[in-house]
Amino acid sequence: MSKGFRRIAYLRFGKMMEPLLPRFSELGKTLRKAGMEVSLRMYLSTSFLKIIISLILAFPATLGILYAFNGALTGTVWFSATIIGLLVPFVVAMGFLVYPRYVASNRKRALESSLPTASSFLAAMASAGVAPDKAFLALANENIQLEIAKEAEKISRNIEILGYDLLTAIEIAAENSPSKVYSAFLEGLISVINSGGDLTSYLTNETKSLMRDKIREEKEFIEGLGVIAELFLVIGVVSPIFFIIMLAVLAIMSTDASNQGTILMTLLTYVLIPIGMSIIIILIDGMQPSE
């Protein structure tokens, strides 16, 4: 999404979105948890403009495509184009509501996956006598492609540039985190620093606990793969073979001149099987711990 498009949307619809901001306060929180650096008003303005564009283009585009395939503007073509023309903006609107949650969910998994590594790093820095703010800065400067390093960079930025103290910067990170595990880790860190406790001991114990949880999650994922494998055999292998054989036999035995068997086989091959495989991929992606 280009900055120019966002700017046009904000200038055109920014003021119109003002009364809607309280209603979408939860969406604003989700945007922050997702790490999407865009204001709620900007996001709503952009979404509204795209919904309008889809509403304008969906009907004529669908009508043109159906006319190209059908060769005539029948009542069915007009009805289908109208339904799709109304459905597309609805899907676009739902997509804008769901997308931040999807991004926040991925970010949550990435944070929880990299948290044991970050906790171990901070424990090593604390044992060496490095101050917590400097430890977060060192973690942010590490050349590692982990979500936790980006979080450390935000904490360091709030301290170095925005002038927040360490505890406030950590508290902001905890509030904007999509992961309860990471939030609890930061809140525990705040408590230890406030009480003057042993930071090294806390981080070491947290690292051990997080490592145990990570190992348990990996075992659960491996066990769940067995169920997914059986589901794959049923949806991707056994069912297609069964239906293809059944349709072929029915086509041989049938005296009907229509091509219903061919249509059903085409539907099975190009629609139902890909949908089933997509569902399996989504299930595996949802179960798999982030690396």
Q: Which of 68-82, 101-115, 152-166, 217-231 is the least confident region?
A: 68-82
Range of the domain at 246: 215-287
Together in a domain, 139 and 176 = yes
Q: For a pLDDT cut of 90, what percent of the chain falls above it?
A: 25
pLDDT tens digits along 124-155: 999 998 999 899 999 888 877 678 888 899 99
Q: Residue 45's pLDDT band (boundaries 50, 70, 90)?
A: very high
Among the three residues 171, 197, 213, which one is the final residue of a domain in this structure? 213
pLDDT at 220: 81
pLDDT tens for residues 272-288?
788 888 887 877 776 66
How many of the other CB atoms lie within 10 Å of CB of 46? 21
Q: Which of 51, 1, 46, 54 is nearest to 27 (CA)?
A: 46
pLDDT higher than 90, residue 240: no
Question: What is the pLDDT averaged over residues 242-268?
Answer: 71
Tens of pLDDT, residues 58-105:
888 888 887 777 677 777 778 878 888 888 889 899 989 999 998 898
Mean pLDDT of the 230-242 span: 82
Per-residue pLDDT at 291 exceeds 60:
no
Selected residue with higher pLDDT from 52 and 260 = 52
**Domain match, 44 and 15 both:** yes
* pLDDT reported for residue 86: 87
Domain boundary among 44, 76, 106: 106
Same domain, 183 and 219: no
Query: What DSSP string runs through 202-267?
Result: HHHHHHHHHHHHHHHHHHHHHHHHHHHHHHHIIIIIIHHHHHHHHHHHHHHH----S-HHHHHHHH
User: Could you say which of 213, 245, 263 is where a domain stops?
Assistant: 213
Residues 99 and 146 in one domain: no
Q: End-to-end CA distance of the chain, in Å?
A: 27
Residue 272 gets which letter from DSSP?
Answer: I
Domain count for the chain: 3
Q: How confident is the model at residue 112 (pLDDT cuts 50, 70, 90)?
A: confident
- Rounded to an integer, the average pLDDT of 221-242 is 81
Residue 184 has pLDDT above 90, yes or no: yes
CA distances from 67 to 63, 71, 73, 78, 84 (A): 6, 5, 6, 9, 14
Q: Do residues 150 and 96 both lie within one domain?
A: no
Question: Is 146 in the same domain as 184?
Answer: yes
Residue 90 in tokens: 């609805």
pTM given for the model: 0.73
Same domain, 147 and 229: no
pLDDT band, residue 258 (cuts 50/70/90): low
Q: What is the pLDDT of residue 224?
A: 79
Confidence of residue 226 (pLDDT cuts 50, 70, 90): confident
> 113 with 209, same domain?
yes
Please tell me the least confidently modeled range out of 82-86, 98-102, 161-165, 243-247: 243-247
Do 35 and 56 lie in one domain? The reply is: yes
Answer yes or no: do 23 and 92 share one domain: yes
Q: What is the DSSP letter of 73?
A: -
Residue 135 and residue 192 in one domain: yes
Q: Are residues 69 and 94 in the same domain?
A: yes
Q: What is the pLDDT of residue 83?
A: 86
Other Cβ atoms within 10 Å of 273 Cβ, number: 16
Whether residue 29 is predicted with pLDDT greater than 80 in this model: the reply is yes
Query: Percent of the chain at pLDDT above 70?
Result: 93
| Predicted local distance difference test score (pLDDT) of residue 290 | 56
